[in-house]
Amino acid sequence: MKAAGRLQGKRIAVTRAAERAEGLASALRAEGAEVRICPTIAYDPPEDPAPLEAALQQIDRYDWIVFTSAAAVDALAERGALPPPAHVRIAAVGKATAASIEARGGRVDLIPAEQNAEGLLAALHDVAGKHFLLPVADIARDALAAGLRARGAVADMVTAYRTVPGPGARDLITLLCGCSLDAIVFSSPSTLRYLLDGMEQFGIDRSVARVLLTGVALIAIGPTTAQALRDEGLPVAAQAPTPDTGGVLQALYDGLAEKG
């Protein structure tokens, strides 16, 4: 007889985009959780694709492509840019992004120990004079590009996709109002922002939203997401030690134990 998982019976909402949710959802179900996929975020093509297309037409001139999300991997794969020419090296922000690259035939040359933009910047050496392509979201921070340029690199930061509200806010609001959740996993600051915006559209102001959300364990995939929660006056039950499925599982174990 199979032993009960560590999340047995726990009701957990996953807010990441629908096409990215199933891997995590499967891992949660394997631990006994009742999973609700409520994508509060979705991805659209850039409003102006010309800068991305221009960069990809000259992909031979780059020494590195740096991926900070699996959505950026998808955007380049859809345009036939993966795998890139053999001389172009690839850096991935973390294991999940690396797996997405490898699934599309790419070779990952660098994954930083600290899986965020700052970790990538620290892990990239001898960058002076090198050309970097950074395909990013429309709302991406420019810390990585600025850091590379400060060290003498040429860094082309181009919008590969847009983040937009996903369809899952209504379902998540229903679950919150019905006290039908034990935890919510937020995979980016945008997943939180779009949920709060959706709540406002349904007449739930920020003060009421805080009450509803404080009743469940709020799990952040990383430090920027954790800070976004705190900026909204919301408690972080736990932050994933790494931004991948294993890290989220550990955060749920810790956060739900703390929540009691």
- Say if residue 199 is in the same domain as residue 148: no
- Say if residue 111 is in the same domain as residue 196: no
pTM of the model: 0.89
Q: What is the pLDDT of residue 127?
A: 97
Decide if 3 is inside a domain. Answer: no
Can you list the positions of beta strands (E) in 174-257? Answer: 183-186, 217-220, 238-239
- Say if residue 129 is in the same domain as residue 202: no
- Say if residue 112 is in the same domain as residue 91: yes
Which of the four pLDDT bands, split at 50, 70 and 90, describes residue 3? low
Q: What is the pLDDT of residues 5-48, one digit of tens each?
A: 899 999 999 999 999 899 999 999 999 999 999 999 999 999 99
Sign, Cα dihedral of 150, 155, 156, 159: negative
Q: What is the pLDDT of residues 179-197, one digit of tens each?
A: 999 999 999 999 999 999 9
- Say if residue 27 is in the same domain as residue 95: no
Q: How far is CA 135 from CA 53, 67, 157, 223, in A?
A: 11, 7, 6, 21
Decide if 1 is inside a domain. Answer: no
Burial class (CB in 10 A: 0-12, 13-18, 19+), 9: exposed
- Say if residue 65 is in the same domain as residue 150: yes
- % the chain with pLDDT above 90: 90
DSSP-assigned beta bridge partners for residue 70: none
Q: What is the pLDDT of residue 164?
A: 97
- Domain boundary residue, one of 164, 185, 201: 164
Q: What is the pLDDT of residue 258?
A: 78
Decide if 34 is inside a domain. Answer: yes
Decide if 151 is inside a domain. Answer: yes
Residue range(s) defining the domain that contains residue 130: 44-164
Decide if 203 is inside a domain. Answer: yes
- Give dist(CA 225, CA 21) in Å, integer: 17
Which of the four pLDDT bands, split at 50, 70 and 90, describes residue 260? low
Give the number of domains in the chain.
2
Q: What is the pLDDT of residue 2?
A: 53
Q: What is the pLDDT of residue 115?
A: 85
Q: What is the pLDDT of residue 158?
A: 98
Q: What is the pLDDT of residues 75-102, one digit of tens each?
A: 999 999 999 999 999 999 998 899 999 9
- Give dist(CA 113, CA 243) in Å, integer: 11
Decide if 221 is inside a domain. Answer: yes
- Say if residue 148 is in the same domain as residue 196: no
Q: What is the pLDDT of residues 91-135, one digit of tens each?
A: 999 988 999 999 999 999 999 998 888 899 999 999 999 999 999
- Say if residue 171 is in the same domain as residue 158: no
- Say if residue 105 is in the same domain as residue 217: no
The answer to whether residue 137 scores a pLDDT higher than 90 is yes
- Say if residue 171 is in the same domain as residue 146: no
Q: What is the pLDDT of residues 141-173, one digit of tens each?
A: 899 999 999 999 999 999 999 999 999 999 999
- Say if residue 152 is in the same domain as residue 52: yes
- Domain boundary residue, one of 136, 164, 192: 164
Decide if 181 is inside a domain. Answer: yes
Decide if 71 is inside a domain. Answer: yes
Size of the chain, expressed as the number of residues it contains: 260
- Domain boundary residue, one of 164, 187, 222: 164
Mean pLDDT throughout 222-227? Answer: 94
- Say if residue 21 is in the same domain as residue 93: no
The answer to whether residue 1 scores a pLDDT higher than 50 is no
Q: How far is CA 121 from CA 28, 132, 136, 153, 214, in A?
A: 32, 12, 15, 11, 35
CATH number at residue 141: 3.40.50.10090
